[in-house]
Amino acid sequence: MLVLNEFPTADEFYKIYWGRKPFVVRGAIDAAAFEGFIDGDMLAGLSLEDEVKSRIVLSAPEGNKWTCEHGPFEEERFSTLGDKNWSLLVQNVEQYHTDTANLLKSFNFSPRWLMDDIMVSYSEAGGTVGPHTDSYHVFLVQGTGHRSWTVGDTPVVNEECIEGLDLKVLKSGVEGEAIEVTIGDVIYIPPHFAHEGKTLETAMTFSVGFLGPKMSELFAQYGHYLEQMEALDKRYAGQELNVRSAGFALAPHAQKTLRGELMNALHADSFSVWLAEYFSTSADVDEAELREDPLSSAELIARLQAGEVLYRPEHVKICTTTSQDGVRTLAVYGAVLVTTVAHDGLIEWLGQHASLSLGDVDALGNKDAVISVIAHLYNQNALFFEGDDPDH
């Protein structure tokens, strides 16, 4: 596997690596940053909660046998696991322990809108989920401890898994050179590339995953959106039919009209608005939670004038799009907030910077319009004042 000393530039990343080529970056993340992220005890605590998706994977020391249990777990489960050959894996950790989301600051070159979640694993020596592939792109960020990874250099074509196991483990294993990682090292793995991590010394791994939707999912969800927007939900009226479509024959000409109607729905500006909505949803957060103590625009300005600074926490799911007619959409947790040109500066700002002072707001122009959107974002828990704790 290619070993780099720093992340590739964004341009190199998409041209050379994204979807094509694994790499490892030594010391990509400052070791001190991990002090603010979730630790093993807190991870175990999360796995006791009903709404949190978690698994414990036991790997047999003699190899080729794995078992998987799904959470929520009882606290006592952890006292019977011993100190070898198991891993705890928890999904969507950035939504539950929002300081862990600060890890995402190192991945601004990635398509953040496509980011699914940060899955965190805690594993003891010998812990492994076995050789496998994933449908998603993943950055495996090594926290504390030591692990050894083997990563294939081409995607697996005909995937064959060991039968009768609770998890998907490749029959053929992974061919490649093993590489040892320690705190701050990051491995990028494109979809369908075989990989296997084995824990050498109690370890935590942070998997930043990017999973694209299937076409069936996009069609179903966009169809649902059209259904809610009656004006967009046109009915096929059998226009332009002729004698070739008499009886039971749906002629090529009529097929073309139907396909064209579907294409029209996809080319509509509303498709761009919906994409922002769709890609800002989170598997574990239905919608933005409204603040119990909302602020008016005037109150918000007063706090900024007093020198307070707002910031955008990294866990908040945001997607922005531009439609063909140039209109911008900003969506947060599936709710569309803005579609006017007056907010373009703010949208740009949110993408590039994480904090906002009164001076920054002034520089954006259109102050009244911008402040009302900022107040809206604040009241939806998408912006916080420095010193506030997003987890409370």
List residues near ligand SIN by CB under 6 A: 87, 121, 123, 129, 134, 195, 197, 205, 207
In the complex with ligand SIN, the residue whose CB is nearer, 171 or 353, is 171
Nearer to Co ion, 18 or 149 (CB): 149
Instruction: State CA 141 to chain mean position distance.
Output: 15
**Which partner from the list Co ion, ligand SIN, none does 39 bind, CB cut-off 5 to 8 Å by kind?**
none
Q: Which does 121 bind (CB under 5 to 8 A by kind): Co ion, ligand SIN, none?
A: ligand SIN
Q: What is the 3-state secondary structure (H, E, C) of the chain?
A: CEEECCCCCHHHHHHHHCCCCCEEECCCCCHHHHHHCCCHHHHHHHCCCCCCCEEEEEECCCCCCEEEEECCCCHHHHHHCCCCCEEEEECCHHHHCHHHHHHHHHHCCCCHHHEEEEEEEEECCCCCCCCECCCCEEEEEECCCEEEEEEEEEECCCCCECCCCCCCCECCCCCCCEEEECCCCEEEECCCEEEEEEEEECEEEEEEEECCCCHHHHHHHHHHHHHHCHHHCCCCCCCCCCHHHCCCCCCHHHHHHHHHHHHHHHHCHHHHHHHHHHHCCCCCCCCCCCCCCCCCHHHHHHHHHCCCCEECCCCCCEEEEECCCCCEEEEECCEEEECCHHHHHHHHHHHHCCEECHHHHHHHCCHHHHHHHHHHHHHCCCCEECCCCCCC
Which partner in ligand SIN, Co ion, none is near 380 (CB below 5 to 8 A by kind)? none
Least distance from ligand SIN to the Cβ atom of residue 181, Å:
11
Joined tokens for residue 245: 């479509």
C-beta of 197 vs 334, nearer to ligand SIN: 197
Q: Which does 284 bind (CB under 5 to 8 A by kind): ligand SIN, Co ion, none?
A: none
CB of 13: closest distance to ligand SIN in angstroms? 20
Closest approach of Cβ 352 to Co ion, in Å? 31
131 binds, among Co ion, ligand SIN, none (CB under 5 to 8 A by kind): none
Kindly state the smallest distance separating residue 130's Cβ from ligand SIN, in Å: 9
Which sign does the torsion angle of CA 161, 163, 168, 169 carry? negative
Chain residue whose CB lies nearest Co ion: 134
CB of 107 or CB of 333, closer to ligand SIN: 107
Q: Given the complex with ligand SIN, which of 206 and 225 has the nearer CB atom? A: 206
Q: Which residues bind Co ion (CB under 5 A)?
A: 134
When the beta carbons of 211 and 251 are compared against Co ion, the nearer one is 211
Name every residue whose Cβ is closer than 8 Å to that of residue 8 and which is 6 or more positions away in sequence: 16, 17, 23, 109
For the CB of residue 52, give the shortest distance to ligand SIN in the complex, in Å: 16
Nearer to ligand SIN, 123 or 379 (CB): 123
Q: Which amino acid is at 385?
A: F
What is the closest distance, in whole angstroms, from the C-beta atom of residue 197 to Co ion in the complex?
A: 8
Q: Is residue 357 within 8 Å of residue 304, measured between CB atoms?
A: yes
- Residue closest to ligand SIN when measured from CB atoms: 121
Q: For ligand SIN, which is the closer residue by CB, 66 or 225?
A: 66
Partner from Co ion, ligand SIN, none binding residue 129, C-beta < 5-8 Å depending on class: ligand SIN
Q: How far is the CB of 132 from Co ion (least distance, A)?
A: 6
Which residue's CB is nearer to ligand SIN, number 129 or number 276?
129
Report what 205 binds from Co ion, ligand SIN, none; CB cut-off 5-8 Å by kind. ligand SIN
Q: Choose between 69 and 134: whose C-beta lies nearer to Co ion.
A: 134
Residue 370 identity (one-letter amino acid) = V
With a CB cutoff of 8 Å and minimum separation 6, the contacts of 317 are 280, 281, 282, 285, 332, 333, 334
Considering the complex, what minimum distance in angstroms separates the CB of residue 324 from ligand SIN?
A: 38
Structure token digits, residue 355:
């904090």
Q: How far is the CB of 354 from ligand SIN (least distance, A)?
A: 27
Q: Give me the least distance between CB of 42 and Co ion, in Å please.
A: 22
Please state, in angstroms and rounded to a whole number, the distance separating the CA atoms of residues 250 and 242. Answer: 10
Question: Which one of ligand SIN, Co ion, none is in contact with 87 (Cβ closer than 5 to 8 A by kind)?
Answer: ligand SIN
Instruction: Choose the contact partner of 47 out of Co ion, ligand SIN, none; CB within 5 to 8 A by kind.
Output: none
Choose the contact partner of 197 out of ligand SIN, Co ion, none; CB within 5 to 8 A by kind.
ligand SIN
